Amino acid sequence: MIERSLVIIKPDGVERGLVGEIIKRFENVGLKIVGIKMMWIDKRFAEQHYSAHKTKPFFKELVGFITEGPVVAFVVEGVHAVDNVRRLVGHTSPHEAAPGTIRGDFAHISMAYASKKGLGGKNVIHASGSKKEAEEEIKLWFKKDEMHSYTTVHEKHVF
Ligand code: UDP
Ligand code: MG
């Protein structure tokens, strides 16, 4: 039941100074950060990360958006981490994301608005959508020696 999930604070989140606020959300619930770095990915890497969306009408705009500035990527570990991270992140469209979720608290646009503007949907954060996606994404973004095993107090009081 202990899983790992990939989280990326997208360029809009980094440029808006939300890195600390966002990381705090995951630490607050006792999820463990086991790897973290800032990267400015190129088009090719972005196309690989979002390869499942390559036939979607928003693909080009999405690749443009995720490469427009540096991102902060991290791997969190915990019980049902993939589902738990998605719950904290909220609905893909900030317009539908509940208050209390990261997308619901820090954004409000709809994907319809983004597509009308010809832009990628700025929704602050990425999180793996399934266990399989998490495994593939962690392999793409992190080398083995960039991840660390250690014990947190949460393992005594939260897990
Ligand atoms: N996206 C977009 N237009 C859409 C749907 C998605 O620009 O109509 C962007 C948005 O930034 C989203 C990303 O594409 O986060 C990946 O889409 P996905 O459906 O995988 O949503 P997520 O897993 O990020 O919630
Ligand atoms: Mg997704």
Ligand index nearest the alpha carbon of residue 136: 2
**Active-site option among 126, 148, 154, 157:** 126
pLDDT digits (tens, 9 = 90+) for 84-93: 999 999 999 9
Q: Which residues, 6 or more positions from 105, have their beta carbon under 8 angstroms from its beta carbon? A: 99
Q: Which domains does the chain have, with CATH numbers?
A: 2-32+57-146 (3.30.70.141)
pLDDT digits (tens, 9 = 90+) for 63-77: 999 999 999 999 999
Mean pLDDT to the nearest integer, 115-122 = 95
| The pLDDT of residue 130 | 98
Distance, C-alpha 158 to centroid of its chain: 23
Ligand 1 environment, Cβ below 6 A: 53, 58, 61-62, 92, 111, 114-115, 120-121, 123, 126, 129
Query: What is the CA(138)–ligand 2 centre distance, in A?
Result: 14
Long-range CB contact pairs, 57-62, < 8 A, 24+:
57/115, 58/111, 58/114, 58/115, 58/120, 58/121, 61/114, 61/115, 61/118, 61/119, 61/120, 62/120, 62/121
Q: Which residues, 6 or more positions from 56, have their beta carbon under 8 angstroms from its beta carbon? A: 62
